[in-house]
Amino acid sequence: MLGFRFTCVVSLCVCLCSIAVADENEAVPLKRLVMFSSGVGFFEHAGTVEGTENIELEFGAEQINDLLKSLVVSDRGGSAGIVSYGSRDPITRTLKTFSIDLTQAPSLSDLLSQVRGEKIEVQSLGETITGTILSIESRAKIDGETKIDIKYVTLVTDDGLRSVSLDQVGRIKLLDKALNRELSKALAVLATARGNEKKSVSIEFRGEGKRDVGLGYVREMPIWKTSYRLVMDEEDKAYLQGWAIVENTTESDWDAIDLSLVSGRPVSFRMDLYQPLYVQRPLVVPELYASLVPPKHDQNMSERKSHLSDPEEIKRSKSRLSGTPSFGAGGGGGSVPWGMPGTGRPMGLKGPPHLPYGSPAIVSGAPQDNEDRDANQDFGNVDFFVPQSRSMAEAEELGELFQYQIAAPVTLGRQKSAMLPIISEDVEAERVSVYNENVLAKHPMRSIRLINNTDLHLMQGPVTIYDDGGYAGDSQFDDISPGNDRLLSYAVDLNTEVSAQSKSSPTRMVSIAIKRGVVYTRSSQELTRTYTIKNSGDEAESLLIEYPLNGDWKLVEPEEPAAKTRDRYRFAVEVPARETKELLLRFSKNNLTTVALGNKSANDRTLIAYMKSDVISDEVKAALEEVVRQKTKIAEFTKQRQQAVAELNAISKEQERIRRNMQAIDRNTELYTRYITKLGEQEDRVDALKNQIEELQQQENAAQRKLNEYLNGLTIE
């Protein structure tokens, strides 16, 4: 019974804390919300406070980063104070930091076990007992055939040990005030959490008197969406109705707030400011020095009196060991036997060599001069006062941005959605069929050309079309700014059938010109596209035929299309009822090719083909003939040189064969003599061929230089 009573008390504390938070939030309620189509929303709270007050707000743990990045606080009659928020750690980890652990909803016996050794006051059966908790134990009690465990608390009192049954306890009081405060704080954490995913943020407004305050922040929100209904009648009159779809995914209700819906793409990003960050610092291991072992000295066996027995000598020795300036001199053998060479400091000590060990500047840490003293006084005395100012700069409009301001205040409960009317006006519309063979090869699509003659920007979204009092189909459109139009295709036009045929002409050369030895040839090609449209219906059809836009092809007929988008032409055709009509499209494409006359690709066959063209001028033709003549001459030199090189290679192979044979026969034979004679004749021919090859190479190079000079100066338009 007592466990139940204790649980009720804890629950009541939680409820009271929740009510307190709710009351504080009412002081600065949500007044205005701006939702962006980029997935964020700007929340603006406004209200009145008196004196110094804290406002509590609740957010999901995933929203804290947005709050830390964007929160702005306004208190014109006072100043913004501290903004505190719960740790990122789970609520269980926070509860474990208190002296009394409430993470597992402990029973009364569990709570008392946690405070063993503490002094409590217990009221049981009309008696008040004060003592220190020694232990908690269970004792079995037989009630008929049922075994019941009874919890007992053992107290150390002034009269000795007392064991009290918890079933008979009416009240327990902790006598340690600090422990009571810890319990209250733990209960407050439980009250403000109300779930592991919720975090409480406390915003302090500091000031005096009653005054207006406000705060704003950006947080993640679902993008708002739009949907439309277009109603057509027999006279092509159209009525457009548009709705915005919004969701309240926050932790609070919206009560008569001003709602604005903005379509734009402001730069928005997330940054983890909630996670504690630590800078990696290097680990410096202190230097360790081996301790000196005191030496053992033998007894002086001589009868001579030690000089240390002299009182004056003892006084001088004490002076050397007292850390006076005599300590700072010299090297290893100076005044002190253990001095470091060249430093004047004891072994193992670190510090500036110009300051002696034991110097007051090191021991006391006092500033060495007035300048350093002023610097030390300024350090840590940072001025945290920042004067409030109002920005006089205006934000520049970036890209296309438009806004719907909902006329009536919006009331919407948490975790609920709503449709809000944003447009309800008569608009201009025209029935038309649109044919695109990439969509349907045989039939066009029934469509409506919607003209935005309103003052509103129509955001993209689906549209349901009603025609002649019934459902006609669905469509969608991209953003439509005022004055622009869009085609909305919603059904297949089965009354109209379209067939298309293409025909292309062979490439025809238009002109030939030469510039600095490069031949420029221009040619053209034509493409015709014929559409045959058959209207089987009882009413005339207005048809738009779409054809893909290709930058290489230029429209020749008709001169202008009915419309031109980013990637296609649109051609308008009126087809009377039960008739067939044709649409002819003609396109042309100009090609430019270049051939450098000095390259191998400019062979005789290519140049002769140019010279046989009907569009070549006499000057260009004569120039090409001269190029052919010079290239023919160069080719002849090249041919003769290659023949001489081939003969020289053949002689070299023949000589190798003869020399191998000569090694296998007797020098005194007739065959050996014939080989000697033949080698001599071949050597004469080799010398002649080498001279001929060199001469032909020179002639070939000279002819090539002549051709290059001719081509560099050859320009005929």
Whether residue 268 is contained in a domain is answered as no
**Residue that the structure tokens 């007035």 belong to:** 370
The CA dihedral of 658, 663, 668, 672, to the nearest 10 degrees, is 0
Pair 609, 695 in one domain: yes
pLDDT of res. 100: 84
**Residue 512 pLDDT grade (very low, low, confident, very high; cuts 50, 70, 90):** confident
Q: Choose the weakest-confidence range: 150-154, 312-316, 471-475, 601-605.
A: 312-316
Question: Which candidate, 496, 490, 443, places its Cα nearest to that of 467?
Answer: 490
Residue ending a domain, among 536, 560, 593, is 593
Rounded Cα distance between 485 and 570, Å, is 14
pLDDT of res. 25: 52
**Residue 78 pLDDT grade (very low, low, confident, very high; cuts 50, 70, 90):** confident
Question: Which candidate, 365, 32, 411, places its Cα nearest to that of 217?
Answer: 32
Domain count, the chain: 2
Whether residue 642 is contained in a domain is answered as yes
pLDDT of res. 235: 78
Rounded Cα distance between 75 and 549, Å, is 60
In this prediction, residues 259-288 reach a mean pLDDT of 84
Pair 608, 699 in one domain: yes
Distances in whole angstroms, Cα of residue 650 to Cα of each of 513, 687, 693: 47, 14, 15
In this prediction, residues 440-459 reach a mean pLDDT of 91
Write the burial class of residue 450 (CB in 10 Å: 0-12 exposed, 13-18 middle, 19+ buried): buried
CB proximity list for 487: less than 8 A, separation 6 or greater: 432, 434, 447, 448, 449, 450, 544
Pair 618, 574 in one domain: no
Whether residue 98 is contained in a domain is answered as no
527, 506 Cβ separation under 8 angstroms: no
Whether residue 184 is contained in a domain is answered as no
Rounded Cα distance between 479 and 37, Å, is 13
Beta pairing partners, 573:
543
Pair 508, 574 in one domain: yes
Pair 552, 610 in one domain: no
Q: Which residues of 492-526 are buried (b: 16+ CB within 10 A; e: fewer)?
A: bbebbbbebeeeeeeeebebbbbeebbbebebebb
Write the burial class of residue 251 (CB in 10 Å: 0-12 exposed, 13-18 middle, 19+ buried): middle
| pLDDT digit string, tens, across residues 626-646 | 888 888 888 898 999 999 999
Check whether 340 has a pLDDT greater than 60.
no
Q: Which DSSP letter does residue 664 get? A: T
If one compares 306 and 531, the residue with the highest pLDDT of the two is 531
Pair 584, 610 in one domain: no
Pair 611, 706 in one domain: yes
Rounded Cα distance between 401 and 399, Å, is 6
Task: Find the domain containing 581 and state its range.
Answer: 498-593
Beta pairing partners, 138:
151
Rounded Cα distance between 481 and 457, Å, is 5
Check whether 378 has a pLDDT greater than 50.
no
Rounded Cα distance between 236 and 425, Å, is 15
To the nearest 10 degrees (0 to 180), the angle between helices 604-611 and 618-662 is: 160
253, 412 Cβ separation under 8 angstroms: yes
pLDDT of res. 455: 86
pLDDT of res. 612: 79
Pair 510, 578 in one domain: yes
- Cis check: omega of the bond before 311, within 30 degrees of 0: no
Pair 708, 615 in one domain: yes
pLDDT of res. 90: 64
Beta pairing partners, 451:
428, 485
The CA dihedral of 110, 112, 116, 120, to the nearest 10 degrees, is 180
Q: Which DSSP letter does residue 339 get? A: B
Residue 325 is which amino acid?
P
Whether residue 532 is contained in a domain is answered as yes
Rounded Cα distance between 351 and 255, Å, is 69
To the nearest 10 degrees (0 to 180), the angle between helices 670-712 and 618-662 is: 160
Q: Choose the weakest-confidence range: 3-17, 488-502, 631-645.
A: 3-17
| pLDDT digit string, tens, across residues 49-68 | 999 999 888 888 788 889 99
Residue ending a domain, among 573, 593, 613, is 593
pLDDT of res. 533: 94
Check whether 219 has a pLDDT greater than 60.
yes
CB proximity list for 217: less than 8 A, separation 6 or greater: 42, 43, 66, 67, 70, 71, 72
Beta pairing partners, 303:
none
Whether residue 271 is contained in a domain is answered as no
pLDDT of res. 102: 81
In this prediction, residues 609-613 reach a mean pLDDT of 80
In total, the chain counts a number of residues equal to 717
SS3 of 382, please? Answer: coil
Question: Which candidate, 68, 301, 75, 359, places its Cα nearest to that of 208?
Answer: 75
pLDDT of res. 143: 75
Distances in whole angstroms, Cα of residue 319 to Cα of each of 266, 314, 322, 337: 78, 9, 5, 14
pLDDT of res. 80: 85
pLDDT of res. 291: 60
User: DSSP of 530-570, one letter per residue?
Assistant: EEEEEE-SSS-EEEEEEEE--TTSEEEESSS-SEE-SSEEE
pLDDT of res. 229: 96
Check whether 478 has a pLDDT greater than 50.
yes
Instruction: Give me the helices (H) in 225-369, please.
Output: 311-320, 360-363
300, 308 Cβ separation under 8 angstroms: no
User: Does an H or E element contain 216, and which?
Assistant: strand 210-220
pLDDT of res. 382: 31
If one compares 103 and 671, the residue with the highest pLDDT of the two is 671
Rounded Cα distance between 522 and 615, Å, is 10
| pLDDT digit string, tens, across residues 115-127 | 888 888 888 888 8
Q: What is the average pLDDT value for the chain, to the nearest integer? A: 79
Residue 421, CA atoms < 13 Å, CB-side half-sphere: 8
Whether residue 544 is contained in a domain is answered as yes
If one compares 383 and 286, the residue with the highest pLDDT of the two is 286
Q: Are strands 402-405 and 254-263 parallel, antiparallel or unpaired?
A: antiparallel
Pair 548, 524 in one domain: yes
Question: Which candidate, 248, 226, 196, 192, places its Cα nearest to that of 30?
Answer: 248
In this prediction, residues 253-272 reach a mean pLDDT of 87
Whether residue 653 is contained in a domain is answered as yes
pLDDT of res. 316: 54
Residue 146 is which amino acid?
T
Check whether 385 has a pLDDT greater than 80.
no
pLDDT of res. 386: 32
SS3 of 616, please? Answer: coil
**Radius of gyration over alpha carbons of the chain, in Å?**
51
Q: Is 135 left (phi over 0), alpha (psi -120 to 50) or beta?
A: beta
| pLDDT digit string, tens, across residues 104-156 | 788 888 888 888 888 888 888 888 889 998 898 888 887 777 888 888 889 89
Interior angle at CA 593, CA 592 and CA 594, nearest 5 = 130
Residue ending a domain, among 552, 572, 593, is 593
Pair 532, 582 in one domain: yes
67, 45 Cβ separation under 8 angstroms: no
Check whether 396 has a pLDDT greater than 50.
no
Check whether 303 has a pLDDT greater than 60.
no
pLDDT of res. 296: 53
pLDDT of res. 497: 93
In this prediction, residues 450-469 reach a mean pLDDT of 91
Q: Which DSSP letter does residue 22 get? A: H
Write the burial class of residue 538 (CB in 10 Å: 0-12 exposed, 13-18 middle, 19+ buried): exposed
Pair 536, 639 in one domain: no
**Residue 325 pLDDT grade (very low, low, confident, very high; cuts 50, 70, 90):** very low
pLDDT of res. 366: 38
User: Does an H or E element contain 118, and which?
Assistant: none
Write the burial class of residue 386 (CB in 10 Å: 0-12 exposed, 13-18 middle, 19+ buried): exposed
Check whether 323 has a pLDDT greater than 80.
no
**Residue that the structure tokens 């009573």 belong to:** 5
User: Does an H or E element contain 73, and which?
Assistant: strand 72-75
| pLDDT digit string, tens, across residues 499-511 | 999 998 888 888 8
Q: pTM to 2 decimals?
A: 0.58
